[in-house]
Amino acid sequence: MKKIAVVLSGCGVFDGAEIHEAVLTLLSIDNNGAQYQCVAPNVWQRQVVNHLTQQMSDEMRNVLVESARIARGEIKDIATVKASDFDAAIFPGGLGAVTNLSDFAAQGENCQLEASTLKFARAMYDAKKPLGFVCISPVLAAQICDAGVKLTVGNDEEVSKKLKAMGATPEDCSADNIIVDDEHNIVSTPAYMLGKGPAEIYQGIEAMVRHILLVA
């Protein structure tokens, strides 16, 4: 049975992993007869947001602890796992991808990835194992992969401009579809960058998962 690492960045769209995207990724992996393991970095969140008011909070929250909510407690510190443990990895979106897994939200094209996340992701990439990216998380691929990697953030011109500055090749894509880069073994789907609800974004996530399992 193929095993996929699902890299979470907290819990909640405004400061962590987008919950719909994360759960639909887990559902698709399960529906397609594969196994998943949720992982996350054991670091403090860069920001905490009250999801009811969408206002910043002065709380301190840990990315691994918050991600455990989505994983129902079945989660591992990404620093403790190895690329050899998995056949592929998928990164759901949510602002945690650009605040906790990287500082793209603050630094744009000059961003850096969180150290343990970069180490794991680069090991997967160097081992030529497929990587999937959802919503805003394709910005991570621009730093993980070699120059020229094809990916999508839907049709967001501002983010695409920054991705081009990072050496990536962004392409427009609808929420129910995927962009495949066979050379770099990368698959991405826009999800809530464009999608209006769970049913629509699930189509893109399902296509991504199926392609990953086909080539893993």
3-state class (DSSP) for residue 108:
helix
First to last CA, the chain: 11
Average pLDDT over residues 134-145: 96
Average pLDDT over residues 145-154: 94
Average pLDDT over residues 194-198: 96
Containing structural domain, residue 31: 3-215
Tokens of 30: 């399960």
Say which CATH number the domain at 187 has: 3.40.50.880
Q: Beta 55-57 vs 48-50: how paired, if at all?
A: antiparallel
State how far the Cα of 45 lies from the Cα of 118, in Å rounded to an integer. Answer: 16
The reported pTM is 0.97
Question: Residues 53-80: pLDDT tens digits?
Answer: 989 899 999 999 999 999 999 999 999 9
Q: Indicate the burial class of 215 (C-beta count within 10 angstroms; 0-12, 13-18, 19 or more).
A: middle
Amino acid 165 reads A
Beta carbons of 75 and 82 less than 8 angstroms apart? no
Distance of CA 205 to the CA centre of its chain: 11
Average pLDDT over residues 19-24: 98
pLDDT band, very low/low/confident/very high, at 95 (cuts 50, 70, 90): very high
Average pLDDT, the chain: 97
Q: Is the pLDDT of residue 144 over 90?
A: yes
Q: What is the pLDDT of residue 188?
A: 98
**Residues labelled as active-site residues:** 135
Q: Is the pLDDT of residue 146 over 90?
A: no
The number of folded domains in the chain is 1
